[in-house]
Amino acid sequence: MKQFFIKIFVLIIISLIPLSSYAEYFNLGVKYGYAYFDNDDYGDYDKGKTYGAIAQIPLDRTFDIEVEYGKFEDDDGLVDGDFIGGYLGAFLLNLRIPIKVKAGAAKQDIEFTSLDVNPEDIDEVNFSWGAGTGMRFPLFSGYVEYLQISKEVHTIAITINF
C-alpha cells in the first residue's frame, strides 16, 4: 500500500508541473513533527510522530497548490499509517511572517496493531485543513503548521521548503 501512495504522489507532482509556468517557482519540502491520534476514547489522544514530503506551486503571492505525502505512527507502535493530500493554500497576511491556511482532501490508510485501540483499520478520504505561520527567505521557507488529516489524526510539524 505504501508503494501505491508513493506512485500517486509522484504522478500528482508530475501532473502539476505544467502549472509551474504560471508560478514564480516550484517548491519541494520536508516535514517532521508530532502526531496525535484520537482512536479509542473521545478526547484521549495518543502521541506519536509524523514525517513526510511536500510539493508546492505558488500561483501568486497569496495562493498556492500543495501536495503532501506523510507517514505517522504512535510512540507505542500500535498505530501506523500514511496519507496523501491535496490542498489549496492562502496566505492571510502576506508579510515576512505569513499566516497560511489550507484546505483540501486527504486519503489516509491507518493500520492498528492492537485490538485494544480500534478493531478496524481506516482507509478513507476526508476533508483536511491546516494553519501555520513561518518565515519566507529568498532560497527557502520554514513553517510551523497544524494539520487535521481526519477526525482521528492531527499533526503539528515543522516544514522546510526549498
Q: Which residues of 35-52 are buried (b: 16+ CB within 10 A; e: fewer)?
A: bbbebeeeeebbebebeb
Pick from 64, 1, 2, 63: which is nearest to 28 by CA?
64
Helix (H, G, I), strand (E, B) or coil at 78: coil
Mind giving me the DSSP string for 21-73? GGSS--EEEEEEEEEEE--SSTT-PEEEEEEEEEEEEE-SSSEEEEEEEEEEE
Each residue's pLDDT expressed in tens, for the chain with a length of 162 residues: 666 666 666 666 666 666 555 555 678 888 898 888 776 555 566 788 888 888 888 887 788 889 898 888 888 777 788 888 999 988 886 566 778 899 998 888 877 765 555 546 677 888 999 999 887 776 777 889 999 888 878 888 888 877
- Answer whether 0.85 is exceeded by the pTM: no
- Which structural domains are found in the chain, ordered by start? 2-161 (2.40.160.20)
Helix (H, G, I), strand (E, B) or coil at 81: strand
